[in-house]
Every structure is written in structure tokens, then in C-alpha cells.
Structure 1
């Protein structure tokens, strides 16, 4: 039986980060991955989805080019197969780079196969070259998640898809009904509707992205999707799906909608089954493996990271958790409370949010600052009329508590707010930091300037450009 200091199960964002961090600390480390390295994000999630979104955004922008180049009209149809081939080619290129990068590591042992815990220090690997039994002082579980397939859908019909299927499809759908108005559903609705595909988005709740406690953000997304021609059906339930001669008929609250395809996007579930958790005594809670700020489970030397151990399913959080888990598995002491995590929604325009989820403030001590894109010279240059930046701050100190950014480039722009909240950087410091001009990022600087001016005048009723 071969022995290792650290064994990592799973080669996605979390697992890859974990094994690299363990090796960085000098541990004799191995990683077990059955499919391609890069996990869901690279192969079946973030990267192909954003490739679709970028291309659809470009098409939408060209169709609306007359707004910035008066007199120009652009027309043309989409070749669905060519569109999806570009997506697949991009994934293949990124996958090959990731695979070759991992294969080139001489400080990491790679097993191709699936692993199962057989004890608190032992694993059995059903590998491509046979069965291997290994022992490890520490173990990191990073098995990821999978799309939920609810029982009401006739899954034998290949026109009914989850996100994995939609991103691997050879062609675009002629028309589509999306079940689930969360982040993933809204992003797919953006891509399809901007391409001129008849799109219906069904959500049981009374707003889109219902898990986010911010009705204004839901309103932003609703507005942008409606603007691209997507029909949004809130407070609506899918009662049945029937096959027709040329597609599907979906019963939504008694109304029959005919489409070529249905995309079910009602969440993802952690991959906690059939990995031997019971053999090692690892506890689960609310469908995930329970971990602390060190990504440690109830078993001291067993760690878990990424979607399998966190309800917030974001690749960047998974990577951070993997680094924390790998560091501690190799004898380190890295921690992360996972209380400050930026969230990006790649609708058009984008939405980005960050806040400290663990600190409560008296509302009387806080103030809102709002800055619409209509006041930004840079936004006017680019022809972006839709957008707003909102900061929630402590009035007396200028400490940033929460930020959300709705508009083009929002996900890129949110990181100054992330850095400020994480490191308690006050708005006065932002004001005294030179920002490039013209840029979208200088909106943050202008808001800091406004706070500083009001602070000087001892006026805490901060309300910029309501």
C-alpha cells in the first residue's frame, strides 16, 4: 500500500488548489480525478457559459450599434453549430493547458479514477489501470456538485436539459423554456434571448435570483432580461412537460408553451454519495460536508473544500477553500471564515455584490451612497445607460460594509470594494488613491470623494445622485 502525506479526492477548482498548496508546503501529495482536470468550472460551468455569454453580448451590441454609431444598422443570423463549436474549442484549449500543467508537476502523484474512503486514513481507487489501495496522513475531499434533476421531468427525452447538457450541445435551441430563475437560469436566459432565440424564464418565487436578499438587484436583472426579449414568468409553477411531434409542450399554471427545448436549472447538489464518508465517520449537514474555518471536518485530519462543503457554489470560493484545506492538511494554519465572498452574475449588464455577512450594524449608523451610470463620463462614452453603484457605509468612519454594482464591467470593478471590506480600508484612503481617468473604477473614487466632502461639512445625510 502506497502512503502519502496528503491525498486529495477531486481535481476541480478546490481539489487542484488543495494538492498544489500541499505540495507547495513540501508534502508528498496525490490527487485522484476520474474525468478532466478543471472540474465543473472549466469543463461544464463557468468557462463555457461565459464564452456563450460573451459571444451573445457581442451579437447584441452589434445589433444595437446604432446607439453609438448613428446611421449604422447591422443584421445577420446566428450559425448555432459554429457558435457552439467556438465554445467547445475554447474549453478544449483551456482543458489541455490545465491537464498539461498538472501532468508536468513532479511533486504530485496523479491517479486517474474514482476514490472511496475505506477508513479514516485509507482509500480505494478504482483507477483506469486497476484498483489501488493507498494510505494518507491527511485527506481532502473536493468532489464538487452536480445539477439537480427533479422527478417531474421525463429525462429520457434529450430535449430536456440541465446546464451540463446545454453547454455540451452541438447546436443552439430553436426556442427554450428555462425552469429556475437563479443565477444560472438568468445567465442562460441572457445568452439565448440576446441571440434572438425565443426564451421563457419560469420562477416559482415572486422575483428572480430569490436567494439574494436584495429586491433592487432582482429588479435590475428582470429589466435587462425583459429588454432582450425574454418572457419572465414569476410566481409560476411548471405543472407538466409533454412530448410533441416537433418539441415539447410545457404546462405553466395551466398555460401551454411550445418550445424545442427545456432547460432545468433548479440548483446543484453536493457529491457526497458513494465516496465512503460513513467509513471514516465524516459528518454531513444540510446536504454538504460540515467544515470549519480551516475546512476541517469533524475528523481532525480530514478536510473538505468547494461545492461539497459549501452552499455558496462559486469557483473562486472553491479555489480559496482548496488552498486553505491543502495548507492545513500539510501542517499549516491557514483560515478563512468565508464571510466576504464576491458574487458575480453575468447578465447584461452584469451584477456584482460583496458584503461582510458576519457583522451586524445598527441601521441608524449606516448610510447609502448611490451613483448611477448616467452620471459617469466613462459610461456615457461607452454608451452604457443602464447601471448603478450602491455602497453601504458606516457614517462616522467611512468603513465600507456592503457594495453592489449593476452595469457593464461590474464583476471586474467590484474588487476594490472586496479589498476594502476585507482589510477595513476606509473611504478616505480610497479618496486619496489615484484612479485612472477615464475609467469605470473611478466611480468608486468619486463616491469616496463625496463622502469626504460630506464628512468635512459634518453632514452625514449621504445621498449621491439618487
Structure 2
């Protein structure tokens, strides 16, 4: 059986399904190939979406336990139904994957389940559960995403030494968990389990949490996570991990170089992700992945085979769903002869702990390394009326501004709803709105975003005016 298309997208994660939909909107005959039985890739099924569902559920439980009485709300008997805790997450996934099926049908995109493997630059073999087929296309878009990675000495058995995937579907609430890695995935899942009573230990090699972001964010996050009872061991190098039927142990060197060990019900390996291209048969095309497994592309996101493009986690850049989405739209429009644009400098990074963390633009560390002059406008949420009303006073907004013309160089937020507040700053920086103009626009009162206004005021040489 042979099927002919204008564009075939391999992978149905955020990059894949967005590129397929945009291509269909532009009038192309499109197919999408997905090896798993559900659409949505890692983000929808075992990543962003289910993690946020558990983060929200765990935050509600934590508030009921720790904060409701301050509001005059008393809980006689508070308990956690862990099965329902996990089942609600599964229902969120079901709703999202159902929505993707609807979008494929609405846009007349054919979905082929199976593993895609290139025969040559115009043909892709799809080995599905029931049959094998060949798809022919003028263009292919590789959007196969990434998989969790590990480190030497740590073998993931998916039973006691687990990845983020398994951590989202445990059978029972663990009493203890040790997490290798204090990056985004590590701190988010640490938050989930610490809030519901699991004793969590984070072991991080760097000297800061979320080490790729502005260092002040990591320092403040350390303090807020410590309030949850999370034990955080920085500058610690994991040597190995071992598992028994009922526990896992991690051997590491502490800050002083002394050998230490932590034993817990589970060891969660959260040291990052690696590009996933297994089974694509890229060698048949003459495409050789980089040493890190990623596919090299040019400024148009083309591989060295002109009709084959790659997007998302399989190419360089941050492994973010919204980055993949932007690239998916970009490629569809490039194929269409348009001249789209992505400002990689302004793709926001977000951490969904509570308080949330969000960042766009350059960090102070990057500005110092480049020898660029800048001024700082920093406003604490402790001085925000809206934050006090909601008892969310941890954190701050920090804006970095070029002193000569007032260009906003970077914005870094740790505080309530930072993931939403950061969007305004991206708009401002994209269109080069100065800090002075950013504080002149009207901000609703009281809101969390007012902290931005005051930070811009301070950076522009004026004092804060709001509470």
C-alpha cells in the first residue's frame, strides 16, 4: 500500500502536530506518523501536561493542609486519595489527546500509527501494529522529540530507578524519593511529591538549582523548596545508583568530596533528555546525527537533504514544547515560500514550581560575560498588595535594562503566575519597547503583573509607586 502526500510529519508532539496543522491550513496534503497509540508525544502524555496536572493537584492538597486555616477554612479530616490523584492526571491526558484527534480530522490530516523509517528521501516505511505501508512525500518534517537520559553509573530499571515518565504513574505515594538533578524536571517533580508528604532529597552537580537560568532565581527557589522540607544537596557528584526490590540507593560525593549515600523508595533520574531518532534510518539519507544525537540543520531548519526538515528536541536549542511549536509553524511556512521569523533569544523558560519561575532574554551572568552595561530594576512580591492578598509573597521580578536607550535586555521572575506574567515582557522585548514605555502603560490593580511595572520604574531611575 502506498500513500502520496505533500508533507509527512514524523512525530505527533507539539512540534509535529502544530507543523501538520499549519501545513494543512496552507493547503497541503499532510500525514502524520506516530509510533505510539496516542497523539501528543512526550509533552501531552508523559511530560508537560501530566506534570502540570499533578503539580496543581499537589498544590491544592498542600494549601488545604498548610494554608486554609489562615483563611478561616478548617478541614476536620484531610486525606489524599493517591489513586484519584493519578487518575485525574490520566483524564487530563485523555481530554488533550482526544482534542488532537479532533484537530487531525478537522484539518483532514491522515494519521498513520507505526515506526517511521526512511527508505530514501521521498519514501518512508511505516511499520504499524497491524500492517506495513510506504508513504511518499515531497517534504518530510522530523519531529521525533527526546527521551530521558542518564549518567554513568546509573542504570534506569523503570522499577526503583525511574525517569519522569514512571514518576507520573506510581501505584502508591512513596514515603521517600531521591532525585538526581536539580533542573526543571527535578524541581517540579520534587514539588509534586514533597507537597503530598514524600521525603524528597535532590542531588545536584552544579552549585545552584535550575543552573541554566539566572542565578538569583536558583537561590530563591532553593529557599522556597526548602520550606517544603526538601533536602537539597548542591555541588554533589553522583557516582552510582543501586536498586533492590523495595528501595534504591544513590552513592555520591558531597561538596567536600566525601563519599555519601542516600536510600529511598525510588531514585528519580532527572538529568536531562536526549534527542530521539532511533529507527529513522537516517543513514539511508546521508544524515549523520551530531555527537549529542541531534540533527544538524541550517537557518531554514533544513537538514543536509533539502526536502527534509527537523524541529524541536532533535535539533539544537532548548528542549521546550513552545520552541518546537514555533519551529513547526516556521517550517510549514518556509515550505510555502514565506519568510517567517523565530527570535530564539526570546523564547521564555518556565519552571512550574510554586512560586513559578520564568525568564526571557539575557541573564546577569551572560551580560557580565559579554561585558555589557546594564541597570537592574528589582521588585519583591512581598511588597505587592495582590501577592499579600493571596499569601504568595515569596520571590521577585528583576528586569535588566541597557542604560543608554532603555532597551530591556532580560526579565527574570520568581513568583505567583510567573509563567503567565512573562508573556507581556516577551512582547515588549520583541518589539523593542523601552523600560520607560513599559512602565507607562496601564496595569490593572491589584495584579501580579504590577510587580513588573515597579521593576521597570526602578530600572528607569524612578522609585516604585505601587503596593
Q: Could you tell me the TM-score, scaled by structure 1's length?
A: 0.91
Among candidates 377, 381, 406, match of residue 385 of structure 2? 377
Q: Equivalent residue for 1:457?
A: none
RMSD (CA atoms): 2.6
C-alpha contact 1:303 1:329 (8 A) present in aligned 2: no
- Where does structure 1 lack aligned partners over 5 or more consecutive residues? 455-461
- SS at 2:436's partner residue? helix
2: distance between equivalents of 1:34 and 1:370?
A: 47
- SS at 1:192's partner residue? helix
- Runs in 1 of length 4+ with deviation above 6 angstroms? 357-362, 462-465
C-alpha contact 1:372 1:387 (8 A) present in aligned 2: yes
The alpha-carbon deviation at position 117 of structure 1 amounts to: 1.5
2: distance between equivalents of 1:141 and 1:428?
A: 43
Aligned pairs (5 A) from 1:125-274: 125-150=126-151, 152-156=153-157, 158-212=159-213, 214-244=214-244, 246-253=246-253, 254-274=259-279
1: distance between equivalents of 2:455 and 2:318?
A: 29
Q: Equivalent residue for 1:308?
A: 314
Among candidates 69, 76, 95, match of residue 78 of structure 2? 76
1:102-156, CA deviations, whole angstroms, 9 ceiling, x for partnerless residues? 23432x2221111112212221111344222222111110011111144533544
- Where does structure 2 lack aligned partners over 5 or more consecutive residues? 254-258
**Structure 1 residues 451 and 178, CA, compared in 2 at 3 Å: closer, same or farther?**
closer
**Structure 1 residues 134 and 19, CA, compared in 2 at 3 Å: closer, same or farther?**
same
1: distance between equivalents of 2:135 and 2:370?
A: 53
**Structure 1 residues 148 and 127, CA, compared in 2 at 3 Å: closer, same or farther?**
same
Deviates more, 1:112-121 or 1:63-72: 63-72
Q: Equivalent residue for 1:320?
A: 326
**Structure 1 residues 413 and 289, CA, compared in 2 at 3 Å: closer, same or farther?**
same
1:210-260, CA deviations, whole angstroms, 9 ceiling, x for partnerless residues? 233x32111112111111001111222333334446423333333332311
Q: Equivalent residue for 1:458?
A: none
**Structure 1 residues 449 and 205, CA, compared in 2 at 3 Å: closer, same or farther?**
closer
2: distance between equivalents of 1:17 and 1:39?
A: 12
1: distance between equivalents of 2:172 and 2:136?
A: 45
The alpha-carbon deviation at position 194 of structure 1 amounts to: 1.4
- SS at 2:278's partner residue? coil
The alpha-carbon deviation at position 50 of structure 1 amounts to: 0.7
2: distance between equivalents of 1:156 and 1:295?
A: 35
2: distance between equivalents of 1:361 and 1:159?
A: 41
2: distance between equivalents of 1:449 and 1:246?
A: 55
The alpha-carbon deviation at position 172 of structure 1 amounts to: 2.5
**Structure 1 residues 248 and 444, CA, compared in 2 at 3 Å: closer, same or farther?**
closer
- SS at 1:118's partner residue? strand
1: distance between equivalents of 2:370 and 2:272?
A: 34
- SS at 2:115's partner residue? strand
C-alpha contact 1:19 1:29 (8 A) present in aligned 2: yes
Q: Equivalent residue for 2:21?
A: 20
Q: Equivalent residue for 1:438?
A: 446
Deviates more, 1:262-271 or 1:1-10: 1-10
The alpha-carbon deviation at position 164 of structure 1 amounts to: 0.9
- SS at 1:21's partner residue? helix
1: distance between equivalents of 2:446 and 2:17?
A: 38
1: distance between equivalents of 2:192 and 2:76?
A: 19
**Structure 1 residues 155 and 367, CA, compared in 2 at 3 Å: closer, same or farther?**
closer
**In the alignment, is residue 341 of structure 1 matched against residue 347 of structure 2?**
yes
Deviates more, 1:342-351 or 1:352-361: 352-361
Among candidates 391, 397, 412, match of residue 389 of structure 1? 397
The alpha-carbon deviation at position 413 of structure 1 amounts to: 0.5
The alpha-carbon deviation at position 318 of structure 1 amounts to: 0.8
C-alpha contact 2:351 2:357 (8 A) present in aligned 1: yes
C-alpha contact 2:125 2:135 (8 A) present in aligned 1: yes
Report how many residues are paired.
Answer: 456
C-alpha contact 1:369 1:463 (8 A) present in aligned 2: no
Q: Could you tell me the TM-score, scaled by structure 2's length?
A: 0.90
**Structure 1 residues 126 and 330, CA, compared in 2 at 3 Å: closer, same or farther?**
farther
2: distance between equivalents of 1:452 and 1:334?
A: 33
The alpha-carbon deviation at position 323 of structure 1 amounts to: 0.9
1: distance between equivalents of 2:321 and 2:193?
A: 23
C-alpha contact 1:159 1:247 (8 A) present in aligned 2: yes
2: distance between equivalents of 1:30 and 1:303?
A: 15
**In the alignment, is residue 332 of structure 1 matched against residue 338 of structure 2?**
yes
**In the alignment, is residue 6 of structure 1 matched against residue 7 of structure 2?**
yes
1: distance between equivalents of 2:316 and 2:173?
A: 32
Q: Equivalent residue for 1:38?
A: 40
C-alpha contact 2:401 2:459 (8 A) present in aligned 1: no
